[in-house]
Amino acid sequence: MKVIKRMALLAVGFISGCQLSHTSESHLYKAQDWVTDGVFTQGVEGPAVDKNGVLYAVNYAQQGTIGQVNSEGVASLFLTLPSGSIGNGLRFDSVGNMYIADYTGHNILRVTPEKTVTVYAHEPAMNQPNDIAISDDGTLFASDPNWQQGNGQLWRIDTSGQVTRLKANMGTTNGIEISPDNKVLYVNESVQRRVWAFPIKPNGVLGDARLFYQFSDHGLDGMRTDEQGNLYIARYGAGEVVIISPAGQLLRKVKLTGQFPTNVAFGGEKGRQVFVTMQKRGAIETFESEYAGRAFKRVQ
């Protein structure tokens, strides 16, 4: 790859040395509305795209629901969760099951393609499962913040539904994602503004964390990696998604219309369309990246 229009990029604040692909169309990384204000509640979160290209997010029209958005940006109700359950993070496995972090019920719910909802995992020791990541083999990892006490935990949910606490006494664990090679688990702490990188061992245990990136302001929320291993982080309060290389270098800031992005997901025809859920607005914004999401050829 070569650096395209280097001086022009530096002039608008990109980091020196950032490598871009041969395509540097002017429409890349320019956010616009995909779903307008108020279609979802202020609790809109957990975007995920299924193998058919349909986008899903939690809290469509009212709390405790899942909405679906077609390729034209038209939203509708997908399902209503069991009474008392409210979703946050969403992910799909390779056969099309949807997994939902049900933070009020201390559950991970599973929804089959036929819309059958079951409790896949329940753990009373969870504070409130927040965001989830899924590896290629179907193993789930869940962040678990305690906002009142300013700390958090990490959990692994095996394909059998068995729950294991991997880490305790972290900061307010929130965004969580896996590298394309399935060897690194990224976890951020919203209040402490840190992103950690944990090696994932073959037995599913996490190795020693290294500080991947430290921010000086604003909060951190949901994250996704692209096929190059770059990490896309929703910067809550900053009104932006930042892109950080696997080496921990800040590559780009994508400015959004709203100030409170909660999570991101890849979709679109080529897997390069990034969807961003926007708290306060109850909306979803979108921009196009150079690269597809890491799981686009399988399932988001």
CATH number at residue 61: 2.120.10.30
Taking the C-alpha atoms of residue 239 and residue 218, their distance in angstroms, rounded to an integer, is 9
Residue 300 within a domain: no
Residue 293 within a domain: no
Q: Determine whether 6 is exposed, middle or buried from the number of CB atoms within 10 Å of its CB (0-12, 13-18, 19+).
A: middle
- What is the tens place of the pLDDT at every residue in 140-198? 999 999 999 999 999 999 999 999 999 999 999 999 999 999 999 999 999 999 999 99
Residue 295 within a domain: no
Q: How confident is the model at residue 297 (pLDDT cuts 50, 70, 90)?
A: low
Question: Which strands form 75-80's sheet, in the order they lie side by side?
Answer: 40-49, 55-60, 65-69, 75-80
Phi, psi of 192 (to 5 degrees): -80, -10
pTM for the whole structure: 0.90
Domain count, the chain: 2
Same domain, 9 and 70: no
Q: How confident is the model at residue 26 (pLDDT cuts 50, 70, 90)?
A: confident
In 13-159, DSSP assigns E strands to 32-35, 40-49, 55-60, 65-69, 75-80, 87-92, 98-102, 107-111, 117-122, 132-134, 140-146, 151-157
Q: How many residues does the chain have?
A: 300
Residue 296 within a domain: no
Taking the C-alpha atoms of residue 149 and residue 134, their distance in angstroms, rounded to an integer, is 27
Q: What is the pLDDT of residue 191?
A: 95
Same domain, 74 and 144: yes
Same domain, 9 and 39: no
Q: How confident is the model at residue 3 (pLDDT cuts 50, 70, 90)?
A: very low
Domain enclosing residue 15, as ranges: 1-30
- What is the tens place of the pLDDT at every residue in 247-283? 999 999 999 999 999 999 999 999 999 999 999 999 9
Residue 283 within a domain: yes
Same domain, 166 and 229: yes
